[in-house]
Structure 1
Amino acid sequence: MRTRLAHLLRRGGQAGKRPARTLAYAETAAALVIIVGAGLLLQPQNPGFVGVSPHPFWLVVIPVAALHGSPPGYAAGAASALVYLGLTAVQAGSVTNPALLRPDLLLEPVLFLVAGGALGELREAQRRREEALLQRQEELERDLQDLAQRYLASVELARELERRIADQTSTVTTLYEAAKALERLEVEELSPAVLELASSFVDVEACSLYLLRDGRFVLAAGRPENASRPRELDVSGGLPAIVSSERRTATVHELLTEPTPGRLARQPMLMAAPILDTDGEVAGMLVAERMPFLRFTPAATRLFTLLGDWASSAFQRALRFQQTRDRNVEDELTGAYNHAYLLKRAEEEVFRARTYGVPLSLLALRAEDHERIPPVRLPGVLRTLSLVFRHHIRPVDVLGKHAEEGTFLLLLPHLTAGEAEALAEKLRREVEGFGFKPFETDDRTLRLCTGRATFSGAGGARELVEAAVRSLGKGSG
């Protein structure tokens, strides 16, 4: 009721200004006519009420300015001043009479004009404050209604969660571990955790997660893994089109007029929720492919939307961590480039090798039985290996680290397979000749495992790295 009243008052304030001002001007003219007429009847020798205090014209100036604001206030003051001066001139018998310029005669009309303008401006400022307060009141009431709706939705969601927890087949420990998995900072580890929560909380029997890569939504994880599903989402139609364009959760109810159990069972997707990045753009989609018909309720849709929000926050946090980590291109311990930077350099060298036909090789290097090296000695071993490698490579070679702990990658532009193998053999001899004994239980000296891959014209940087890592140990001495 208050909102409607505020709306009507604001509309009245805007649309009714012109008629109100016209009325104010009419009231001013009528009041002046009445006062002047009364003066002519009651005291014809002093129709301008000169010397009368307070002057009757204040009955026009003050009410009009206080009620109608600045334009009518100025008009009332000016009209009163002009009428006063006119009547005074008539009473003096001539407009050129020097007596009309007396300060006591001019003070009154000046006060009419100043007071009318000042009171009008005060009233106008008050009116603007009233309109601002009414608008603020309406905004607060809208916010209150929105909060009330959110509160009701939260209460209903809490009840649904309580019911779910009461009859949940999974244990509290399982749910806790799945939720804790969302705190991981590796993007690759988040996808299975999100699907685990979808299965546990929303009773989804089959679900999948797609992430945006090179402008396409590519399958990142699926549950169960052996289920048949597309490797890439088609966002030109269906639920993916709604999610990508409107950035909200969409259900199959929006596409089917009669969602019977049989028709739902034939649908490839029941629900899809967006995974948003920090800019609010869709960076992925969480898809519910199959769930029991009786569980496919509005409450399940809300839970699925909430899970999408959680997943968005988790992926944003992981991506921020990854970006921060990738900015530090050098490993503090060994001085080697990190894996992300080495991949970037490898992509550049692969492009040159493919374009100009020059050779390109890559070595994977790792201490033999590195997992048996005590943790307190492993940093020293890695620093030693890094120093040995740097001493024997060219300025154009790139030494970096693999994502797997303890593994180095050595990018060798313009080296053939034979030249790369010769360098690997040289590095093995240098490490063995160093005589370093890092093991705690025996006196074995440190040995080096090597793997080699040479670019053949097919594949990319990742394939080159994977090939070198797979061959680790085959070329060790």
Structure 2
Amino acid sequence: MTDRPAADAPAAPPAPRRLLGVRVAAWVEIALFFVAVLAIDALLLDGDRFWDVRPHPFWLIVILVAVQYGANASLVAALTASLALTVGNLPVPELGADVFQYWAGIGLRPALWVGVGQILGQMRDRELAERTRLQTRLSLLEHQNQLIANGFEELKRTKSALEARIARQFRTVITTYRAAQSMDVTDEARLSRGLDQLIQSVLSPQKYSLWTLAPDGFVLERAVGWQEDDHFERRLDLGHPVVRHLLAREPALCAARPMDERKLMGQGLLAGALTDLDSGEIVGMLKVEETAFLDFNLYTLENFNVICSWIAAARMRARRWQQLQADRLTGANDLLMTAEVSERIYALLVQLGRRKGFSSSQLIVRPVDPDALAPEQHSILALALGEAARATFRSTDLAFEREADDAEYAILLPGTPLDDAELLGSKLRQAMAGHLPPSVPLDQILIEARPIEETAPAPAPSGGGSA
């Protein structure tokens, strides 16, 4: 939080310049007054300094200075007036006059000037002191009010920041939950989208990259946010400090630590191995090249480690699922065997046919326009074909998935000539008619009879008749 000038203590107003405890302005006014008055008396009047004038003009400066500047200034004015009146201007005493009365008459007016000036000056000093005290208190109150206002504004900003942070964290929780759902898949493309959502929601990086582990080091798999002028490496060989560090199963690298920064060599802010916690296998690396300053903290590093473990577990789960799918004998509906199994059986039938001297055929079942079928219609076609094949063919005739994405299937007919296969194709069409709903018209389904060749089950030119 930055300091603000308004929160500082109020500066005291500059003190007026003083000479011998009296403001300079008072000295100037007194001097100008007596110069002007004495000049008028000397040039225009009798030059007796207004001795017989009642009230005396010098009362004016004494009272004005007392009311304006206080007791000290009034004392200066009274003394100056006394000197200006008496120095070189004493009247000649009369013969037989009492000396006491003579000096009492001369000193009366100076005594009155001093006395009245001090009374008025003390009243003025008390008023000035009270005004100064009130001004000081007012300044303090204004300062306190400013502090309260600043504190209130700071509290409002803090409240808004906390509300925004809570809202952002709430959105992050929702986004992370959705990203976790999207990661709970076995398809590589959908898993990649889920990984991006998870990384963005938890770490909020501006630039990051995912790497795979190859025999010679880490190879860039996907980069997000990289620009053309970025000079990040696309491959890190086994001799790179980052690779040596991560393959030694050390903690994630963080550029905030000087030792880690030297190992990163300007290639990013965070780098961590994607390690499966169950098997300990390293499947790749996650690297963050750029992020916002406020998002680069201790919590980010902790979240980064969790994300690395999460990604590794998701990838290992997807790989195991794909391996299981490759080893499956039947497809999703358990009525049709997988294309991987059909390759082995094709090769076996070709070898047996050459050795025993018999021929085998196959029926290819596919829609006229595969793109016109919705995903659920593909499933309906596979289910109808499996039920029809089970009711129509022998136990030795096997139904396989041929091209799952295009809803293309094959039925292997061991020891069946091509002519007999065409007849069986007609029976299969009749059987499928009882299992297909109106949403999948039978006239949009092609059934072709083909011989089994050496290159089977790769797609071949149409051979044989159409049932």
TM bracket (short chain): 0.3 to 0.5
Over alpha carbons, which structure has the higher Rg?
2
Please report the TM-score for the alignment, with normalisation by the length of structure 1: 0.42
Please report the TM-score for the alignment, with normalisation by the length of structure 2: 0.43
